[in-house]
Structure 1
């Protein structure tokens, strides 16, 4: 935690404006840990800004787009203030509380930890209901990648977050987690879900990395390793955990759903015995989709209806392995390698046509990216997505390749070799107002 440094109340408003203006100028500065910043003068995308002495009218303004700021607003915001203008402490010290909270609510979450060192008042900002109210109303900071792993020396949990809008890595302390074997399940609405064994039984826990809070959920009816997915409803301030069958389960188990409103697990219908459920599933618009074997196909469980339904959509030919990826609203994607006689040819992305009940090819990974990501045919890769963003990671190379479905753009995640190597990864939306209860 970062504590106040005793700055007088007469200076906190001036420091606010100074900090905000500086963030407009060098908001992309590398921050290693919460509460501390690097000293290099870099632009948000890591390029050096020239030091030529040019007039302000000819000086190039680098436009960025942090939370909710349009480009025109940001361009004006990033201009260096006139050094001749004197900011009166007595005037800025009377900044209304609501206005201050609204300003801070627009600051990227990772920058809040830097601002908390300004004064005692700001150090307790995360406990201020006024700030949390404004924070819940502003747009999302944008997608981030969260990596989780263990330190090779002392086996302590390590977590890093890559902000796609800021193009920077941040380290989050995870010492608040229980000291037992856990693995990353996924993230939704600012919460992160883990599962594992505490030495005697299977456990599921929920945490908010920004507020450093954690809670262990009640035990399921069938207490064994299950495939889990999490859904957060921000409007209702609640979340659900869905537990489905595992590929190698020795018995057919019913779906179990945890509801944070009741703090209980409820039993749902079993999957039809004629199908063997695989470990790959996706949740879209109250529907849980699962790949099946015997025969190879797709099953859908309606969380609101409580019934299973077979989706008669034949999988693409020559599909070697595939992942179900949820998109926006009802969109469902299938991502997988295609090949012939164990010779890999390409990686493709399909979208399910809900009307014709067939997989429609969306795109194919360019050969140069495919060769760089998967050098060997047997090399393992992982794939997951959120909000029409799909990330590919190669298990033993530490590479991250991002595909934007809407923009149809492929791009490498910069500086991720150490963070992605032998780590569990998921998309993450940083929010202070995501409660664990």
Structure 2
């Protein structure tokens, strides 16, 4: 017996989403073109959580740019395509330019709202958020890094004025202050084996900050010679990579990728970026290496530039280099300010 259509029409959205999420994936994909609401359900909490292990829609590269005021476009690296819908923000985050997306980790996003002197930790899939007040006002900070686990998260940052390290722990909802580090650090922290690792400005060094003890430690491992810039990337647990330019007098002639050996005693060269790919990349950043940053996303090492609307990424499993295509929503005359993030929705990520 068919259900009365008026009953379906009166169902709350969250119940309708839950019912439809139990459809087989292939069946639902054939239905989603029938209306915009069905298409949007593809990214609903129930649907994503149910299909998160097998669905190609479970992780994305997220683009934050001044052109997108209340949402962020999503790129699906599995099907190598931009998604038809963007990631929308809740009302508290929909008042740019005062809102800035700064970091992401395991389904959580961290925004700053200077006008209210606070950070917002948000699980957009779970539709939950928490406001974390600045430790003091006014508050100048840099190198903010969000580190989340299955049941808590930490915020790390350096204070611009006093060069102290501050850590917020969601378990006890308190800030801790630790000594900073000299010389100047030139990238956000990279999570590896319970530590946050950074690279310094020249002379290049790798230094680590232990998230539990607040202890700083200089790496005793020498870096490759001839580096013109260097960045770290980690898969979070097993692998730590180093990508950098090699050249003379501060001008890169090539770009290479190294991996830290399992015994942690040396860097082993893995790849040399193909010459044509490298030439395009340096033409993008104009040898302004301070604009270059990197991150890990689901088996990809992503190399980005704040001034360019494309990502150069290395697929570790295939050992191949690719360019992520420009977002079709960007205007022909785009400006700088491209911030890219790895985003893997997690319904149960705790804020």
Compute the TM-score of the two structures, normalised by the length of structure 1.
0.63
Paired residues of 1:351 and 1:360 also in contact (CA < 8 A): yes
* Counterpart Cα distance in 2 of 1:389 and 1:306: 30
| Cα deviation code 1:377-416 (max 9, x no counterpart) | 4354432224542112344442222212233122232453
**Residues 139/395 of structure 1: CA separation in 2 closer, same or farther (3 Å cut):** same
CA contact (8 A) 1:221 1:265 kept: no
In the alignment, the residues of structure 2 paired with residue 229 and residue 244 of structure 1 have an alpha-carbon distance, to the nearest angstrom, of: 10
Q: Is the 8 A contact 1:326 1:386 kept in 2?
A: no
Inter-partner Cα distance in structure 2 for 1:407 and 1:142: 21
**Alignment pair present for 1:174 and 2:179:** no
SS in 1 for 2:301: strand
Aligned residue pair count: 329
Using a 3 Å threshold, how does the CA distance of structure 1 residues 172 and 252 change in structure 2: closer, same or farther?
closer
What do residues 34-66 of structure 1 show as CA deviations (whole Å, max 9, x unaligned)? 7364xxxxxxxxxxxxxxxxxxxxxxxxxxxxx
- Specify the alignment match of 2:162 in structure 1: 251
| Mapped pair 1:332 → 2:240 | yes
Classify 1:233/1:373 alpha carbon distance in 2 versus 1 (closer, same or farther; 3 Å).
same
Q: Which runs of 5+ in 2 are unaligned?
A: 11-15
Runs of 4+ in 1 over 6 A off after TM superposition: 12-19
Where 1:406 maps in the other structure, the secondary structure is: coil
Are residues 1:239 and 2:239 paired? no
**In the alignment, is residue 371 of structure 1 matched against residue 266 of structure 2?**
no
**Structure 1 match to 2:135:** 220
Taking the aligned partners of 2:342 and 2:197, their CA distance within structure 1 comes to 19
TM-score (ref. length: structure 2)? 0.77
Shift of 1:111: 0.9
Greater CA deviation, 141-150 or 360-369? 141-150
Deviation of 1:337 (Å): 2.0
Quote the offset at 1:20 in angstroms.
Answer: 3.9
For residue 73 of structure 2, the aligned residue among 144, 152, 160 is 160
Higher relative contact order (CA 8 A, sep 6+): 2
3-state DSSP class of the match of 1:335? strand
**What secondary structure sits across from 1:214 in the alignment?**
strand
User: Residues 92-147 of structure 1: CA distance to partner in whole angstroms, max 9, x if unpaired?
Assistant: xxxxxxxxxxxxxxxxx96154xxxxxxxxxxxx5xxxx69974995685431011
Please list the CA deviations of residues 221-280 of structure 1 after superposition, one character each: whole Å capped at 9, or x if unmatched: 58322321112222x2x22212235xxx34331x3222222222223x3135x5443344
- C-alpha distance 300-34 of structure 1, shift in aligned 2 (>3 A): farther
Which residue number in structure 1 is paired with residue 175 of structure 2?
A: 265
Q: Tell me the CA shift for residue 151 of structure 1.
A: 3.4
Whole-Å separation in 1 of the counterparts to 2:153 and 2:50: 19
Out of 23, 27, 31, the position equivalent to 1:22 is 27
Confirm whether residue 390 of structure 1 aligns to residue 301 of structure 2: yes
After superposition, the Cα gap between the structure-2 partners of 1:413 and 1:196, relative to the gap in structure 1 and judged at 3 Å, is same
Aligned pair partner of 2:60 in 138, 144, 169: 144
Structure 1: gaps spanning 5 or more residues: 38-108, 114-125
Structure-2 separation of matches of 1:311 and 1:111: 45
**Contact kept? 2:21, 2:47, Cα under 8 Å:** no
Partner of 2:42: 111
Q: 1:134 to 1:386 in 2, by over 3 A?
A: closer
